[in-house]
Structure 1
Amino acid sequence: MSGALQKTFTVILNVEFITGNFGNGFIAVVNIMDLVKRRKISSVDQILTALAISRIVLLWLILLNWWLSMFYPGRWINERMFVVIYSIWTAFNQFSLWLTTSLSIFFFFKIVNFSNTIFLYFKVRVKKVVTVTLIVSLFLLCLNIVIINVSENALLTEYKVNMSYSLTLNKTQLSGLWFLFANTMFAFIPFAVSLVTLLLLIFSLCKHLRKMQHSVQGCRDASTTAHIRALQTVIASLLLYAIFFLSLVANVWGSLLLEKKMLLLFTEAARTAFPSVHPCVLILGNTKLRKAFLSVLLWLRCRHKDRDPGVHGTKAYLCGSSCRP
């Protein structure tokens, strides 16, 4: 039974890896081509492109870690390599989390309308708000890496004194447990910010609907539609975000239970779901990306018809003409 579960989770991880690379690569390619064509790029597209690139690197780091752990367990890592690998993983993971949070903040200020003076002040300076958010995230990232390295050095020194300068699996487990605990605490900050933006979006939508009850326009005006679309995207993002955060907590718990294999495989699959599935949510929620994706599907369909020997030449020609921009 455990062998079947292990194979199942391995297949899930492979599917997530392929889906994540395709989705993030598609977002990056579309925005880069748009930049080359128009010679400019919007703030949202800048965030999406940086998010996609960071997640591609993150997915490959996860694959590398999984591959080394599966085929070279206990033979490829020492204390310094451990710190370097997990520091790099921490950097790209924090980039992914905070860029996602910045995207939620950007949607929030662009859609929500409050009469509060402070809110209006930040609304007209939303780009500066996002920039400050990313600067704060860099400070927290540096603090996170410093804590990991300082604590690692302290643990290593103490362990060498007590264990006659030897490094065993228990030391690696202790370092991994501290790394997971520190990253879970720092991952909670962007998660909390995204949760606040979701609650404020819901509050703004309820307030707007109450106003629209006394209006002849009804409830499905442009503002309501924008609120609902933003809520759909943010809720889907936050659900994946919650799964990712809970996977970190479960991973800490799994380390305390002497690394139960099935639990670790489950948490690895759950942790990979956020950078793999979330790009699909972004593609469906973004008009430009959705149209580009549909164009690619139409092009692939036409290519398939062109290669089908049962299709007449005229139909293939018409299909090829419809696929041209």
Structure 2
Amino acid sequence: MSSEGQSILMLIAAGEFSLGILGNAFIGLVNCVDWIKHKKIASIDLILTSLAISRISLLCIILLDCYILVLYPDVYTGGKQMRIIDYFWTLTNHLSVWFATCLSIFYFLRIANFFHPFFLWMKWRIDSAIPRILLGCLVFSVFISLPVINNLDDDFRHCVMMKLKTNLSRRCRVHKAQHASIKIRLNLLTLLPFSVSLISFLLLILSLCRHTRRMQLRAPGSRDPSTEAHVSAMKAVISFLLLFIAYYLAYLVATSSYFMPETELAVIVGELIALICPSSHSLFLILENKKLRQASLRVGLLLFFT
């Protein structure tokens, strides 16, 4: 890849990274200030803060990997750095997806209107269970990411150094295939929380339809706060689902790059797409959360008049 192309791609990556850091840092800062001010934190704010922290970490890992690959490719020859990058990318990726799923479940339990005993029990217990659920997601993500470290042996690192050669040996192709398959299988586990978020979205639609029919019988043409809450929650969940699909496709592109002659270009393109998910979703969350939206307006007015 030409130096001009590398510079352009790096600038785009830096722009996406900056946008994501600002959005997620804003979410975390607003909720932390509110936590200190009121000496307690609401469940929704705890989820949003945990999600913001995981995505800031994910953004840093993706950008770091992108810059090392382009500017200092020899860093990966030692293997230790590659192990660290791969482990923390897998870890923060799982954390981000699981925390976003917790957010989808919380929206569903708080907003949906069902009268099944199990649903009512979960609705009643969700606030007290959120800290334990988030901690469980962290522990699960830490352990599920460990196979990535064990899969990087000396033979594989030697094959990485041959990534620009088209006539790779059969042994290198086998090692690359094994490493890629491990990473893909580990990230296929994120389809479980994705499925839970999808089910939550579909149940929100069902709840909204039932609520709309009841409201039409009582007051045709009116939109009550419950309807607005349903629509707002559905926007937040569907934005996560769509961005997750884009992120996962980008991850597959980056992983499959082990078998391409122009590895750096494929990885960078994949990582540019991957940066969109944690960067853009934070903006959706700010716009759909009343407290965050009002805080952003205050900051905007303050910057405008200074």
Q: Which bin holds the TM-score, normalised by the shorter protein?
A: 0.7 to 0.9
Say whether the 8 Å CA contact 2:99–2:137 is kept in structure 1.
no
Measured in 2, the distance between the counterparts of 1:73 and 1:231 equals: 43
> How far is the alpha carbon of 1:234 from its aligned partner?
1.3
Amino acid at match of 1:263: A
Counterpart of 2:158 in structure 1 is: 167
Q: Distance in 2 between matches of 1:10 and 1:176?
A: 26
Cα deviation for residue 277 of structure 1 reads: 1.1
**Deviation at 1:139?**
5.0
1:62-81 correspondence to structure 2 within 5 Å: 62-81=62-81
Q: Which runs of 5+ in 1 are unaligned?
A: 161-165, 304-325
Matched, 1:301 2:293: no
Q: Which has the higher contact order (CA 8 A, sep 6+)?
A: 2
- Pairs within 5 Å for 1:258-273: 258=261, 260-273=263-276
Rounded to whole Å, the distance in 1 between the matches of 2:202 and 2:261 is: 38
How much does 1:69 deviate?
1.0
The correspondence of residues 306-325 of structure 1 with structure 2, limited to 5 A, is none
CA distance in 2, matches of 1:137, 1:149: 20
Q: Which residue of 1 aligns with 2:90?
A: 90
- The 3-state SS of whatever aligns with 2:113 is coil
Aligned residue type for 2:134? L
CA 75–7 in structure 1, closer or farther in 2 if over 3 Å, else same: closer
Structure 1 letter corresponding to 2:9: F
**TM-score normalised by the chain length of structure 2:** 0.85
- Distance of 1:167 and 1:251 partners within structure 2: 19
Distance in 1 (alpha carbons) for counterparts of 2:259 and 2:191: 20
Partner AA of 2:83 in structure 1: V
Bigger Cα displacement from structure 2, 34-43 vs 216-225: 216-225
* Cα distance in 1 for residues equivalent to 2:225 and 2:277: 30
Cα deviations across residues 132-188 of structure 1 (Å, max 9, x unaligned)? 543553454244223323444xxx38x49xxxxx83326584575245313421222
| Higher deviation after alignment, 111-120 or 80-89 | 80-89
Taking the aligned partners of 1:189 and 1:2, their CA distance within structure 2 comes to 40
- Secondary structure in 2 aligned to 1:214? helix
Other-structure match for 1:317: none
Q: What are the within-5 Å matches in structure 2 for residues 45-64 of structure 1?
A: 45-64=45-64
Shift of 1:228: 0.9
Matches within 5 A, 1:12-51: 12-51=12-51
Equivalent position amino acid for 1:243 in 2: A
The amino acid across from 1:60 in the alignment is C
Distance in 1, Cα, partners of 2:181 & 2:81: 16
Structure showing greater radius of gyration is: 1
Q: Is the 8 A contact 1:2 1:262 kept in 2?
A: no
Q: Distance in 1 between matches of 2:262 and 2:136?
A: 34
Counterpart in the other structure of 2:168: none
Report how many aligned residue pairs link the two structures: 294
> 1:48 is matched by which residue type in structure 2?
L
Classify 1:214/1:13 alpha carbon distance in 2 versus 1 (closer, same or farther; 3 Å): same
Aligned-residue sequence identity (percent) comes to 35
The answer to whether 1:247 aligns with 2:256 is no
Taking a change above 3 Å as real, the CA distance of residues 84 and 223 of structure 1, as seen in their structure-2 partners, is same
Partner of 1:212: 215
Contact 2:51 2:96 survives alignment (8 Å): yes
* Structure 2: 5+ residue stretches without partners: 163-171
CA distance in 2, matches of 1:259, 1:143: 33
Letter in 2 for 1:13: A
1:129 CA displacement: 5.0
What displacement does 1:35 show?
1.5
Q: How much does 1:218 deviate?
A: 3.9
Mean alpha-carbon deviation: is it higher for 138-147 or for 108-117? 138-147
In structure 2, the CA distance between the partners of 1:98 and 1:39, relative to structure 1 (3 Å rule), is: same
Q: What is the alpha-carbon distance in structure 2 between the residues aligned to residue 89 and residue 210 of structure 1? A: 45
The equivalent residue for 1:314 is none
Could you tell me which residue of structure 2 aligns to residue 311 of structure 1? none
One-letter amino acid of the structure 1 residue matched with residue 159 of structure 2:
T
Report if the CA contact (8 A) 1:144-1:182 is conserved: no
What whole-Å deviation, never above 9, does each CA across 1:206-230 have from its counterpart, x for those lacking one? 2222222322254512211111111
Counterpart position of 2:108: 108
